[in-house]
Amino acid sequence: WNIKEGNLTLLLSSCYEKMLPIAGQKKQELAALFDRDLELRIAMDKDRLEQVILNILSNSVKYTEEGGHISIDAKKEGSLVNIIVSDDGLGISAEDLPRIFERFYRVDKARSRAMGSSGLGLAISKQIIEEHHGSIEVSSALGEGTCMTIQLPLITHRGVAGIE
Ligand code: ADP
């Protein structure tokens, strides 16, 4: 782990830029709703957190039809920040929902395999987020879409709290 203080907004912007052409290939609209000037200081392993954000955005692209809509937002909530990735894609049934963070769990095995999926992405993402003292939650409805929320602690006293 290489935990350093950094501005989450910059990381989110760079993930957004990386995903734009990929969403574009499926004619999906990818929107960054957060304020680019918002300062979100957190203690992070930048490469690993990037891996999480890209995993969640790529899932939205993968499991949303052509022409669908995906957004990424970041909102401060006291000493925490919520990163919210929403899509209006295939969604996940209530039955599958509690299991998607398990290792090797894929909702539609045949389809997932065809898309080159392993079912490991979210399990690893959850581990990385927990290592950052955060949490990751999902809400979804089949046929309507999915919303992933990552909650992370902010550094409130510059250069003191949260750095390991
Ligand atoms: P995979 O490599 O199969 O995408 P993940 O661990 O990233 O593995 O995701 C686990 C399963 O959760 C996926 O197989 C998929 O069925 C479901 N899933 C994840 N994100 C979404 C999403 N945004 N919309 C619909 N289903 C999703």
First-to-last C-alpha distance (Å) of the chain: 10
What letter does residue 79 receive in the DSSP assignment? Answer: T
pLDDT in tens, 111-134: 665 666 667 889 999 999 999 999
Residue 156 has a pLDDT of: 85
Binding site membership of 51 for ligand 1 (Cβ less than 6 Å): no
pLDDT in tens, 80-101: 999 999 999 999 999 999 899 9
Identity of the residue numbered 160? V
CA distances from 129 to 44, 56, 94, 160 (A): 10, 12, 23, 20
Atom in ligand 1 nearest the alpha carbon of residue 107: 16
- Answer yes or no: is pLDDT of 162 > 90: no
Residue 91 has a pLDDT of: 96
Per-residue tokens: 26:
């499926």
Average pLDDT over every residue of 16-31: 98
Identity of the residue numbered 59? N
Pocket test for ligand 1, best of 59, 60, 72 (most atoms within 8 A of CB): 59
- Per the listing, tokens 């760079």 go with 14
- Answer yes or no: is pLDDT of 158 > 60: no
Specify the residue with its C-alpha closest to ligand 1, atom 12: 100
Mean pLDDT of the chain: 91
Measured on CA atoms in the order 32, 38, 40, 44, is the torsion positive or negative? positive
Q: Are 46 and 6 in contact (CB under 8 A)?
A: yes
Residue 41 has a pLDDT of: 96
User: Under 8 Å CB-to-CB from 100, ≥6 apart: which residues?
Assistant: 92, 107, 122, 138
pLDDT in tens, 31-62: 999 999 999 999 999 999 999 999 999 999 99
pTM of the predicted model as reported, rounded to 2 decimal places:
0.91
Confidence at 107, pLDDT banded by 50, 70, 90? confident
* CA-based max dimension of the chain: 49
Binding site membership of 53 for ligand 1 (Cβ less than 6 Å): no
Residue 14 has a pLDDT of: 97
Atom in ligand 1 nearest the alpha carbon of residue 91: 25
Q: What is the dihedral of CA 120, 123, 127, 129, to 10 degrees?
A: 110
